[in-house]
Structure 1
Amino acid sequence: MAFLAGPPRRLEDSGNTVTYRHLLSPQAMTVFNPLRTIAHCDIDAAYAQFESVRLGLPDDIPLICAQWQSIIAVNYPARKYGIKRFNTIDEAKKLCPHLYVQHVATYRNGESEAGYWGEVDPQTHKVSLDPYRRESLKILAIFKELVPKGEIEKASIDEAFLDLTPMAIDRLLLVHPYLASVPEDAPDGLDSALPPAPPIDWSKAGNVFPADGEEGAREVTTWEDWALCMGAEIMAEVREEVWKRLHYTCSAGIAHNKAMAKLCSAWKKPNNQTVLRMSATSAFLRDMDFTDIRFLGGKLGQAIATEYNAQTVGDMLTVPLEELQAKFGEESIWVYNIIRGIDHTEVTARVATKSMLASKNVRPNVKTPEQGHHWLGVLAGELNVRLRDAREISPGLWPKTLVLSHRTGIEPSRSRQIPFPFTRNLSTEYILKFARRLWDEATQPMNKGNMKLNNIALAFTGLEKLEEGQQGIEGFFASKVSLDAINIKRSRSNSPAGSPKKPRLPTLHTGKRKTPLEAFLAKGESSASSSTVQANPVPNGWTCPKCGALITPSDPVEARSGSLAAEKQEHEDWHFAMSLQGGGTGGSGSGEQGARPKAKVKKKPQGIKAFFTPKG
């Protein structure tokens, strides 16, 4: 995890001297700059607000969002009646008889879009968050427009981190232009300390948490505080713009790092913002339950609480670093720092979406291939909408593969994939055509009554966008260039010297060299999914394209019953395992099949990393 990266070290943020270098040098714009200004913005009761605005309801109407029989969002007018998400819908209606209940949008078979259908049934409908994703993108667009400098990290549908440092410094220099150049008599040049900071007018900054936790305490003004004030004014303008354009209220926290910005954004909800200065951090954290801090709410936090009989941050401040590291490993210095308000995690703009998933827990279980056709149509419809929306934002975006996953009981999911060719006429039917191929192949055991599925999922993977100047299949079709006119260099390390190079059709996904594992997956897609028909000279047999091995069933009857497909899958799984272990491509091409080597034993994560190891 990012916050565990790098060598462990003790970090102290207090007592930093702010210099002209911190203010004027681009090289000083790091996570260690004392003028660093980070905001966390959270849409208030997002799903409920989205629905209220969509329905055109007055702001004071109590509303809840429902998903089947559960409450997933409660707006603030409804919270005044004591309604919480763990209430049932009937309980909520008793607390507030005039409560507005809105079920989230759902997909149903035969519809090209998710909609609000009135009566919904989990046995025939699938929940859709598409409307909320679209509103989230509108809000993010406003963030990017008003904060053109600095990174913006989307944390979820309803929250984001904004690095306001460059804009806060620009505004600071605008208010105090005499800081824009180093005085001639500065003793250390750029590394000279800034002059004393004048008093700050916090009137446009929102709520400012007091230094000692109490209003009226005497406080010393610093340039770090000035940077936070400038950032808070910018954040107030951003929030106002979101309200003006979209009629959504949001709350924000402004601090010197991500962890503190997120914590203080919840201090004065809704429709408010809080500034947390370094001098006030200790008072802000002291009485807080330390499991409220991000990443400390799970097993790690419980283990620490049990070990030290601690509940609040104040309880943990007495634990020496050496003792913490002796119990939880060297990386536990992160815990030591975070409860002191120190966090040097970067705000990082998320890379473009690489996959899209549409999944459904089916009730009752799917027991025949025909029963699954309904859900394939629903899932394909959702992927169609999401890919279409994504291509409106990023033209040229296209997935490499379509993946079908399915699960029986509590067993791990199984999946198959197939290359997903480009088309200018994307539709649910087009996606469904490839999904059906995977489905027919995956559900062969159903014909024997050996399969009952409780989850079905379709996913696009390998989503990529054409780089500028790169010839892709869209350009190929648009310009109608003949094959003879295409001159594409093709590197073939395994071809004999002097062999003529053959032209190939341009693809949408030319890019960096694949890793051995990626190369194996790319080669295995067509054979593993039966997406291409290969001529096979042996009746009822199959020749492996990687190693040349001939796979035939021992009995012709078994061939008709699906034994060949099972043996083929097992053989390809062996190649996959070999590629994972040896770093090769999964086949030598020699046709030899030696003994399968023993799998390497993975080292178990140590220290606090063990608490973040994914299951499975």
Structure 2
Amino acid sequence: MLMSKFTWNDLIQLNSVTTSYLSPLSCMAHIDVNAFFAQVEQIRCDYTRDDPVVCVQWNSIIAVSYAARKYGISRMDTIHEAMKKCDHLIPIHTAVFKKGESWWTYYDGYGSWMKEKEKQLPPDNYKVSLDPYRRESRKLFKIFKEYCYSVEKASVDEVFLDLGRLCFEDLMFSDDEVFQKSEAMQAIRNTFINGEYDLQTALPSLPDELKNLEFTGMVFNPANRPLLNDWDDIIFALASRETQKMRDVIKESLGYTTSCGIARTKNVAKLGSNFRKPDAQTIIKNNCLEDFLDNGSFEITSFWTLGGKLGKEICQVLNLPPKDSIKYIRNTWANSPKELESFLEKQLEERGGQFNELTTIDSTNIHTLAKKIFELSRGVHPVQLNTRPLVKSMMSNKNMRSSSCKSLIDCIDWLEVFSGELATRIQELEQEYNKVIIPRSATVLMKTTLGETYRKTTQLHNRDSKLACQDLLNATSKMAAELDKKYAEPNSKKFYPLTNMNLVISNFEILDLKKTVLDMFGNQAQVYEKNNDERNKDEMAEEEDHSTVIAAEEKTEELQCQKCDLFFPNTKEFQEHLDFHFASKLSDSLNGIGNDSRNLSVGEQRLLFSTKRPSSNSKRILSNGKKRKTAKGSGNILSFFSR
């Protein structure tokens, strides 16, 4: 009986969001929005996809719609050059902050191309705002998170998706007619459900019925190989359906067209999304990887993370040809990364132990670099998604022109812009990650007309958990005044006008939005909170046993109060009970310990209140059997938690 080249372990590994990228059946996708900034403005201003829209910042074009590209317009053109290429071009300027204002505004019909001077938006008095694009980006990210377990936000308009678990579920549990009608597939599902398999055993060969499964999108297959030959092809076909579903939702709900690449690794998926645009989907199957990498469109520097100085230095050290460099690496070092590592070490030795002018290559980490290049040239370099990239600092920056900032008053006007922008961005980040983010430090930097740089840092003391624009402005204005007094007052001509000014907030304190009284007064107990979203269960687990099948119903935590020896059916009741204990302790510390305190042992009660008889119940019962009425409006915090 013919068997698959993949094992049960390869398949089961897809079901783990933490390790699926390591499986030979791994399936990644990269999706980006076509000419994102231009599409945002096109939709906002009610233009169609056939209208030649460009998004403009001052005199530069930062995004060109595909309709405008038909006229040979690119981002290398100035807006005036572009308008000569297309007499009906539609330029739309980004939103801007006005000097001295903490909010951004669209000035439609304004820009450097306008003949009227008052409509030209001089950069001396305005600062570009990217907030509208970040807002749209959050909408996109929300859709991806709703449909996929593991999502990495690569930039404002692109994401990486690990589709492993999603495809595993489709394969094993979907009601797709192709799977339902296949007896062989039903047998495989039963084997999985019953756990009657060995992880190292090869999977059965692909059932003939499954070979009718269709891909959605363009499968890169110049050699016309069989489309569905093994289980990795099935996974990719299922993945193409899932990504198309997400892209359709984005197109229908937000109006944006996207391009998608599907491959085994992040790097190849990103190349795939850029291969056919706009509004396209490219699938690079494992048996077509080398065909794709050698199609003439890519070099080793085309790979994500190798497009800069590091990539150029690698080309020099390896003596790579200007064309077909990926194929050259694969053929020259054909057997193992060790060969490539030895060559790099030899090159290092010939240069006296250093790469001379080559400063980007880390000579202490040649082994890792050689392995990466070896795998990249074959399209199999595994990289895990970073699903929770949370920034560590934020900057608002302005390169000053002419007399944009020639006094302390100008500095404060720009700081108001910076403060408004950063406060808004913090709010956006909080919404995106469902966190409370409190910056604790702020730094003001000023670059003088002589090129000297001065900076000052202060600790931020917010009035509450939200970063208020006015609080940030007050703190940073004080720093600006101190810098002005120290460096500008002795000789203002050497200080002003400034050529650059920026504000950085950092040292973020990050809190969960779901806070309890325990969190407000100090974390006195460890609270376990179950996440109702089933898609996050694996993210919460620190370890996962891959030798066993994940049960359909996962165990719940035992919610037990050690003090009372009570068990609780759900997290909410358990949390309320813990809050009661903490409120009781807080009440004792604020109001004094009473003889009915629940925080004292019997021995402690007798020792402290020997003349009093400790009550076993805080609500005393009168001789007639009635409970004593409790006065309303008691100032005791404990009353809020007694039930």
Per the normalisation by structure 1, the TM-score is 0.69
Q: Alpha-carbon deviation of 1:362?
A: 1.2
**Corresponding residue to 1:451 among 467, 474, 495:** 495
**Corresponding residue to 2:53 among 60, 63, 67:** 63
**Corresponding residue to 1:295 among 302, 305, 328:** 305
Equivalent residue number for residue 407 of structure 1: 447
The alignment yields a C-alpha RMSD, in angstroms, of 3.1
Equivalent residue number for residue 508 of structure 1: none
Q: Alpha-carbon deviation of 1:204?
A: 4.3
Q: Alpha-carbon deviation of 1:39?
A: 0.7
Equivalent residue number for residue 593 of structure 1: none
Q: Alpha-carbon deviation of 1:295?
A: 2.3
Letter in 2 for 1:471: D
**Corresponding residue to 1:226 among 229, 234, 237:** 234
Equivalent residue number for residue 146 of structure 1: 147
Which of the pair has more CA radius of gyration? 2
Q: Per-residue CA shift, 1:485-525, capped at 9, x if unaligned? A: 5969xxxxxxxxxxxxxxxxxxxxxxxxxxxxxxxxxxxxx
Q: Alpha-carbon deviation of 1:188?
A: 6.8
Q: Does 1:371 align with 2:410?
A: yes
1-structure distance, mates of 2:522, 2:414: 31
Residues 33 and 381 (structure 1), Cα distance of their counterparts in 2 relative to 1, 3 Å cut: same
Letter in 1 for 2:439: P
Letter in 1 for 2:479: L
2-structure distance, mates of 1:242, 1:52: 16
1-structure distance, mates of 2:477, 2:452: 23
Q: Alpha-carbon deviation of 1:298?
A: 1.9
Q: Does 1:44 align with 2:85?
A: no
Equivalent residue number for residue 159 of structure 1: 158
1-structure distance, mates of 2:388, 2:466: 29
Q: Alpha-carbon deviation of 1:86?
A: 0.1
1-structure distance, mates of 2:440, 2:386: 26
Q: Alpha-carbon deviation of 1:177?
A: 3.5
2-structure distance, mates of 1:336, 1:227: 25
Letter in 2 for 1:243: K
Equivalent residue number for residue 343 of structure 2: 323
Q: Per-residue CA shift, 1:38-82, capped at 9, x if unaligned? A: 110101100000111111111210111111101110011111111
Residues 464 and 180 (structure 1), Cα distance of their counterparts in 2 relative to 1, 3 Å cut: farther
Q: Alpha-carbon deviation of 1:184?
A: 12
1-structure distance, mates of 2:472, 2:192: 66
Q: Secondary structure at the match of 2:127?
A: strand
Equivalent residue number for residue 463 of structure 1: 508
**Corresponding residue to 2:482 among 430, 441, 456:** 441
Q: Per-residue CA shift, 1:309-361, capped at 9, x if unaligned? A: 41222233333323245336322221121111121110121333333221111
Q: Alpha-carbon deviation of 1:88?
A: 1.4
8 Å contact 2:8–2:200 — kept in the other structure? yes
Q: Per-residue CA shift, 1:523-560, capped at 9, x if unaligned? A: xxxxxxxxxxxxxxxxxxxxxxxxxxxxxxxxxxxxxx
**Corresponding residue to 2:198 among 167, 176, 189:** 189
Residues 35 and 437 (structure 1), Cα distance of their counterparts in 2 relative to 1, 3 Å cut: same
**Corresponding residue to 2:82 among 83, 86, 92:** 92
Letter in 2 for 1:382: E
Letter in 1 for 2:445: S
1-structure distance, mates of 2:151, 2:228: 31
Q: Does 1:251 align with 2:259?
A: yes
Letter in 2 for 1:388: Q
8 Å contact 2:134–2:156 — kept in the other structure? yes
- Percent identical pairs in the alignment equals 30
8 Å contact 1:399–1:420 — kept in the other structure? no
Letter in 2 for 1:274: T
Q: Alpha-carbon deviation of 1:412?
A: 5.8
Residues 75 and 261 (structure 1), Cα distance of their counterparts in 2 relative to 1, 3 Å cut: same
Equivalent residue number for residue 341 of structure 1: 379
> Larger deviation: 389-398 or 159-168?
389-398
2-structure distance, mates of 1:98, 1:456: 38
2-structure distance, mates of 1:301, 1:58: 39
How many residues get paired?
464
8 Å contact 1:402–1:420 — kept in the other structure? no
2-structure distance, mates of 1:413, 1:278: 54
Equivalent residue number for residue 314 of structure 1: 327
Letter in 1 for 2:159: A
Q: Does 1:116 align with 2:106?
A: yes
Q: Alpha-carbon deviation of 1:205?
A: 1.9
Residues 262 and 184 (structure 1), Cα distance of their counterparts in 2 relative to 1, 3 Å cut: closer
8 Å contact 1:252–1:274 — kept in the other structure? yes
Q: Alpha-carbon deviation of 1:224?
A: 0.8
Letter in 1 for 2:134: R
Equivalent residue number for residue 285 of structure 2: 277
1-structure distance, mates of 2:95, 2:522: 33
Q: Secondary structure at the match of 1:123?
A: coil
Residues 367 and 283 (structure 1), Cα distance of their counterparts in 2 relative to 1, 3 Å cut: same
Equivalent residue number for residue 260 of structure 1: 268
Residues 221 and 457 (structure 1), Cα distance of their counterparts in 2 relative to 1, 3 Å cut: same
1-structure distance, mates of 2:321, 2:123: 43
Equivalent residue number for residue 68 of structure 2: 78
- Please show how residues 501-516 of structure 1 align to structure 2 within 5 Å: none
Equivalent residue number for residue 457 of structure 2: 416
Residues 184 and 285 (structure 1), Cα distance of their counterparts in 2 relative to 1, 3 Å cut: closer
**Corresponding residue to 2:22 among 32, 39, 46:** 32
Residues 325 and 293 (structure 1), Cα distance of their counterparts in 2 relative to 1, 3 Å cut: farther
Per the normalisation by structure 2, the TM-score is 0.67
1-structure distance, mates of 2:588, 2:372: 55
Q: Secondary structure at the match of 2:398?
A: strand
> Larger deviation: 262-271 or 415-424?
415-424
Q: Alpha-carbon deviation of 1:441?
A: 1.5
Residues 102 and 323 (structure 1), Cα distance of their counterparts in 2 relative to 1, 3 Å cut: same
1-structure distance, mates of 2:522, 2:33: 38
2-structure distance, mates of 1:392, 1:383: 14
1-structure distance, mates of 2:377, 2:105: 45
Q: Does 1:242 align with 2:254?
A: no
8 Å contact 1:39–1:252 — kept in the other structure? yes
8 Å contact 2:4–2:205 — kept in the other structure? no
Residues 427 and 221 (structure 1), Cα distance of their counterparts in 2 relative to 1, 3 Å cut: same
Structure 2: state its 5+ residue gaps.
111-118, 180-184, 334-339, 349-365, 524-582, 591-643
> Larger deviation: 382-391 or 77-86?
382-391
Q: Alpha-carbon deviation of 1:185?
A: 13
1-structure distance, mates of 2:455, 2:4: 54
1-structure distance, mates of 2:66, 2:522: 48
Letter in 2 for 1:299: K
Residues 413 and 193 (structure 1), Cα distance of their counterparts in 2 relative to 1, 3 Å cut: farther
Q: Alpha-carbon deviation of 1:217?
A: 4.0
Equivalent residue number for residue 388 of structure 1: 427
8 Å contact 2:94–2:130 — kept in the other structure? yes
Letter in 2 for 1:79: R
Q: Does 1:356 align with 2:400?
A: no
2-structure distance, mates of 1:486, 1:401: 36
- Please show how residues 513-528 of structure 1 align to structure 2 within 5 Å: none
Equivalent residue number for residue 126 of structure 1: 127
2-structure distance, mates of 1:484, 1:185: 52
Q: Per-residue CA shift, 1:18-57, capped at 9, x if unaligned? A: 1223323656944321221111010110000011111111
1-structure distance, mates of 2:587, 2:100: 43
Residues 217 and 360 (structure 1), Cα distance of their counterparts in 2 relative to 1, 3 Å cut: same
1-structure distance, mates of 2:25, 2:195: 20
Equivalent residue number for residue 179 of structure 1: 188
> Larger deviation: 238-247 or 16-25?
16-25
1-structure distance, mates of 2:57, 2:152: 28
Q: Secondary structure at the match of 1:237?
A: helix
